């Protein structure tokens, strides 16, 4: 069977027909497991065969070796040996009665054998995410859906009452929300795959690879200083009408690996943007300064200079002005954020209203899939346009294969010439790839903490600390069931933050608590369990409040928790494991988050463990620390993927100098979250933008003689 891939409404190319990614036997296995996973879920109007086909199509954006791994998971689970390990009987899953299938699948999910846990969780998440993406299924659980297609249904969405104001991030007064937006013309200077009709060879002063918080800021600063800048972005250029608030489709289009990126063992979901603007296009907008004690640690332990608190204060203020980072007014918080705000105040814990990078936000709740209203001041609408206005060129859909150092470093004023090799392909039409070759003395790699070390290793420029010291801010959620509507799919997702435990038990390593947006496809995949218990949770969709605990990992400072490595076949491997100290903090975050729920009026609270721990009073929250937090025993994710090319003075343990330059390769810089020497203990957007500003200004001073204009 073949599956047609949907295309954007403004794309005139015919839909591309994809060959199946799974073998017939694997598709048959998936058809066997799906009814077990979805038992009790709201029914869909599609057939089981259609569900399997959509699961297969969902794998399109995964790297080939990741698709093969998921296919192998289906093969393994469909074998008699897997049932033997689950039930002690040598049978095929398909021949078991429904009750034994459920028992077998449950045992796989919590098996002592890590491969069985990994395989079953991968299948479970895929099936649930695809099923709950169906409109009729989402409607059955009470999902409000896109706000631009309806009137606001709760007080915490839509414009606020009052006179229009420019000194806060939300819109006030009556504001018409158009149900349809005309496609926005691609700006001058942006070259998309469909506009590239031949291979390109060109030169530049600087090539910047990536357009997120680090890359776009760097490109704008250098272009405005007079450098001839070319930006390369692996994701597509989208804006306005493209962000139509369809959760499942946009999640697949805007995130790395189609939002299916995980560690090798599938134990941690990695949430990273893959579009122009990078993760700033899809994040939840909170702007937090790097804690003083973190900056001081970088200086003392890693040789980072010029970034002490007194040095960075003016930089933070400048970046905040440029992205309109302002405090959310008290009357703009969603019900989910009020849980955190009111619960922390009741407990006497430190809690603050957030600054968010927004202007005239209409509180629609869809920040995670791009801002339809251009209210979010991401790099897509700030620094990328600034770079273009200063003469830069942006190639979208451009995947960089390797960087080649073309000249020997003679130590002259100009760094040795480098050649960047990229492939440009339209993901929607599947048009034949074009090659892009750019020669430049300065190359800035800003592909994120997975993409940057992988590119360096593919280019033979790895070694030392490249790929090591992956830091994730491992995050887990605690849900609370309320007797009132919370509707976590509505309102500004993240407007409050509790840092009561950031310096847990007197250490510099702790956790903080925030609020996430929850939409059906993502929620279904994230919530624990399957079958009837999972369906019961989803049926309470609008009465569930969800808080997340984020841990500052790396408490065992000399120990690298994770690694990004490219093997001889060019496949990227991502490994990560919580250290014992990190596990202690993750456990502590569970009981602390549960206390907040009960202080805000929850009647029961549960965790994301494979076998959820559920408590019904504040006196019981200590029980939540008793559950296992090892791989695939609890749901973990991270939208803060950092480290892997950290700044430092020792080439053996770092990837770049304190100026951001790759050790031993003059003119090759790094400017993204991979540079962070340690985890931050706060969301990293503002830190990355600010570090990029400092390093870009150093580049300008160092290479000023190169400017041509």
* Measured CA angle at 354 (ends 642, 150), to 5 deg: 100
Distance CA 311, CA 300 (A): 15
Cα distance between residue 442 and residue 620, in whole Å: 58
- CB contact at 8 A, 281 and 254: yes
Q: How many of the other CB atoms lie within 10 Å of CB of 656?
A: 28
SS3 assignment, position 207? strand
pLDDT, position 176: 66
Which of 165-169, 232-236, 482-486, 646-650 bottoms out in mean pLDDT, i.e. has the lowest? 165-169
Yes or no: say if 548 and 476 are a contact pair by the CB < 8 Å rule.
yes
Q: Is pLDDT above 70 for 302?
A: yes
> How would DSSP label each residue in 275-341?
BTTGGGGTS--EE-PPPHHHHHHHHHHH---S-SHHHHHHHHHHHHHHTTEEEPPGGG--HHHHHHH
Tokens 């954006």 locate to 61
The DSSP 8-state label assigned to residue 516 in this structure reads -
Give the model's confidence band at 429: pLDDT under 50 very low, under 70 low, under 90 confident, else very high.
Answer: low
696, 690 Cβ separation under 8 angstroms: no
Provide the pLDDT for residue 9. 33
Q: pLDDT digits over 588-611, tens only?
A: 999 999 999 999 999 999 999 999
Residue 366, phi-psi category: left (phi > 0), alpha (psi -120 to 50), beta (remainder): alpha
Round to whole Å and give the CA distance between 314 and 328.
22
Least confident of 16-20, 108-112, 285-289, 513-517: 16-20
How many angstroms separate the Cα of 277 from the Cα of each of 83, 212, 215?
46, 5, 9
Q: Give the CA dihedral 215, 220, 223, 226, nearest 10 degrees.
A: -130
User: What percentage of the chain carries pLDDT values higher than 70?
Assistant: 96
Measured distance CA(111)–CA(77) in Å, rounded:
12
Task: Choose between 707 and 402: higher pLDDT.
Answer: 402
Residues 6+ positions from 556 with CB-CB distance below 8 Å: 579, 580, 581, 582
Q: Are strands 393-395 and 190-191 parallel, antiparallel or unpaired?
A: parallel
For range 174-182, the mean pLDDT: 74
**Whole-number Å distance between alpha carbons of 151 and 260:** 32
Tracing tokens 């922390």 back to the chain, one arrives at 344
Q: How far apart are CA 616 and CA 491, in angstroms?
A: 27
pLDDT at 412: 82
DSSP code, position 706? G
**Cβ-contact 435, 423 below 8 angstroms:** yes
- Assign 697 a pLDDT band (cuts: 50, 70, 90): very high
Give the pLDDT confidence of 479-536 residue by residue, as tens digits.
Answer: 999 999 999 999 999 999 999 999 999 999 999 999 999 999 999 999 999 999 999 9
Q: Is 625 helix (H, G, I), strand (E, B) or coil?
A: helix
Q: Which uninterrupted H or E stretch holds 393?
A: strand 393-395
The CB density around residue 49, as the number of other CB atoms within 10 Å, is: 11
User: What integer pLDDT is reported at residue 547 of this predicted model?
Assistant: 98
pLDDT attached to residue 680: 97
**Structure confidence at residue 270 as a pLDDT band (50, 70, 90):** very high
Higher-pLDDT residue of 9 and 495 is 495
CA dihedral angle for residue 402, residue 191, residue 684, residue 675, rounded to 10 degrees: 20
Average pLDDT over residues 551-579: 93
Q: Are 298 and 311 in contact (CB under 8 A)?
A: no
User: Torsion angle, CA of 18/24/29/32, rounded to 10 degrees?
Assistant: 80
Q: Return the closest-CA partner of residue 322 out of 446, 213, 428.
A: 213
pLDDT of residue 4: 28
pLDDT at 5 > cutoff 70: no
Considering only residues 241 and 620, tell me which one the structure prediction assigns the higher pLDDT.
620
> Collapsing DSSP states into helix, strand and coil, what is residue 443?
strand
* Average confidence (pLDDT) over 6-23: 53
Query: What is the phi/psi pair of residue 502, to 5°?
Result: -65, -35
Give the CB-side neighbour count of residue 344, counting CA atoms within 13 A: 22
Contact 157/491 with Cβ under 8 angstroms? yes
pLDDT at 430 over 90: no
CA distance 631 to 106: 16
Rg from Cα positions in the chain:
24
Report whether pLDDT(12) > 50: no
Residues 6+ apart with CB under 8 A from 46: 54, 134
Q: What is the DSSP letter of 194?
A: G
Mean pLDDT throughout 276-284? Answer: 98
Side-chain-side CA neighbours of 605 within 13 Å: the count stands at: 29
Q: In sequence order, which ranges of 357-506 are alpha helices (DSSP H)?
A: 383-389, 448-458
For the chain, the average pLDDT equals: 94
Q: In what order do the strands lie in the sheet with 325-327?
A: 286-287, 355-357, 325-327
pLDDT of 169 > 90? The answer is: yes
The pLDDT of residue 8 is above 50: no
pLDDT in tens, 361-391: 999 999 999 999 999 999 999 999 999 999 9
Coil, strand or helix: which one is 126? Answer: helix
b/e per residue 159-198 (b: at least 16 CB within 10 A): bbeeeeeeebbbbbeeeebeeeeeeeeeeebbbbbbebee
Q: Are 141 and 539 in contact (CB under 8 A)?
A: yes
Cβ contacts of 18 within 8 Å, gap of 6 or more: 2, 3, 4, 5, 57, 60
Q: Which of 148, 166, 154, 82 is nearest to 118 (CA)?
A: 82
């Amino acid at each position: 069977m073949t599956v047609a891939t949907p295309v954007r409404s403004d794309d005139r190319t015919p839909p591309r027909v994809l060959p199946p990614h799974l073998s017939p036997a694997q598709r048959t296995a998936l058809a066997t497991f799906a009814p077990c996973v979805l038992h009790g879920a709201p029914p869909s109007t599609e057939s089981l065969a259609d569900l399997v086909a959509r699961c297969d199509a969902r794998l399109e954006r995964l790297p080939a070796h990741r698709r093969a791994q998921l296919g192998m998971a289906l093969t393994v689970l469909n074998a008699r040996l897997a049932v033997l390990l689950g039930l002690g009987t040598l049978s095929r899953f398909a021949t078991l009665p429904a009750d034994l299938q459920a028992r077998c699948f449950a045992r796989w999910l919590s098996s002592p054998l890590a491969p069985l846990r990994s395989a079953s969780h991968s299948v479970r998440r895929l099936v649930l995410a695809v099923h709950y993406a169906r409109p009729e299924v989402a409607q059955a659980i009470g999902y409000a859906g896109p706000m631009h297609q309806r009137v606001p249904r709760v007080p915490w969405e839509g414009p606020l009452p009052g006179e229009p104001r420019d000194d806060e991030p939300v819109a006030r007064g009556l504001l018409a929300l158009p149900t349809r937006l005309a496609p926005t013309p691609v700006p001058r200077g942006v070259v998309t795959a469909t506009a590239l009709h031949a291979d390109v060879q060109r030169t530049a002063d600087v090539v910047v690879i990536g357009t997120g918080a680090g890359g776009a800021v760097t490109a704008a600063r250098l272009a405005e200083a007079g450098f001839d800048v070319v930006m390369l972005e692996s994701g597509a250029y989208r804006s306005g009408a493209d962000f139509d608030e369809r959760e499942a489709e946009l999640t697949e289009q805007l995130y790395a690996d189609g939002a299916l990126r995980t560690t090798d063992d599938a134990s941690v979901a990695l949430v990273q943007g893959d579009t122009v603007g990078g993760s700033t296009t899809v994040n939840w907008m909170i702007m937090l300064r790097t804690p003083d004690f973190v900056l001081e640690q970088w200086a003392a332990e890693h040789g980072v200079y010029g970034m002490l608190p007194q040095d960075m204060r003016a930089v933070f203020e400048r970046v905040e002005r440029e992205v309109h980072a302002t405090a959310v007014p008290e009357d703009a918080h969603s019900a989910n954020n009020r849980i955190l705000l009111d619960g922390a105040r009741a407990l006497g814990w430190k809690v603050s209203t957030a600054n968010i990078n927004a202007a005239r936000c209409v509180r629609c709740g869809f920040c995670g899939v791009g801002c339809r209203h251009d209210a979010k001041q991401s790099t897509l609408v700030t620094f990328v346009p600034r770079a273009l206005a200063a003469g830069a060129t942006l190639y979208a859909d451009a995947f960089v294969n390797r960087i080649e150092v073309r000249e020997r470093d003679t130590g002259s004023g100009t760094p040795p010439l480098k050649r960047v090799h990229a492939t440009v392909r339209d993901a929607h039409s599947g048009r034949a790839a074009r090659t892009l070759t750019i020669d430049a003395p300065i190359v800035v790699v800003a592909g994120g903490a997975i993409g940057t070390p992988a590119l360096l290793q593919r280019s033979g420029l790895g070694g030392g600390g490249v790929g090591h010291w992956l830091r994730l801010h491992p995050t887990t959620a605690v849900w609370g069931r309320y007797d009132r509507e919370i509707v976590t799919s509505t309102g500004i997702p993240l407007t409050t933050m509790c840092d009561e435990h950031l310096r847990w038990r007197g250490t510099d390593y702790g956790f903080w608590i925030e609020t996430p947006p929850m939409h059906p496809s993502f929620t279904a995949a994230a919530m624990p369990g399957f079958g009837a218990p999972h369906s019961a949770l989803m049926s309470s969709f609008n009465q569930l409040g969800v808080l997340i605990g984020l841990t500052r990992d790396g408490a065992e400072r000399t120990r690298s928790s994770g690694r990004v490595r490219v093997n001889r076949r060019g496949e990227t491997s991502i490994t990560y494991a919580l250290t014992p100290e990190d596990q202690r903090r993750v456990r502590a975050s569970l009981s602390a988050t549960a206390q907040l729920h009960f202080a805000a009026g929850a009647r029961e609270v549960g965790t994301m463990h494979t076998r959820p721990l559920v408590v019904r009073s504040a006196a019981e929250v200590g029980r939540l620390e008793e559950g296992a937090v090892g791989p695939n025993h609890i749901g973990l994710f991270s939208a803060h993927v950092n480290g892997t090319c950290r700044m430092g003075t020792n080439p053996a343990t770092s990837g770049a100098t304190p100026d951001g330059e790759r050790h031993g390769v003059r003119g090759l810089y790094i400017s993204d979250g991979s540079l962070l020497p340690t985890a931050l203990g706060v969301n990293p957007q503002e830190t990355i933008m600010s570090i990029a500003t400092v390093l870009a200004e150093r580049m300008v001073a160092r290479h000023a003689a190169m400017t041509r204009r």
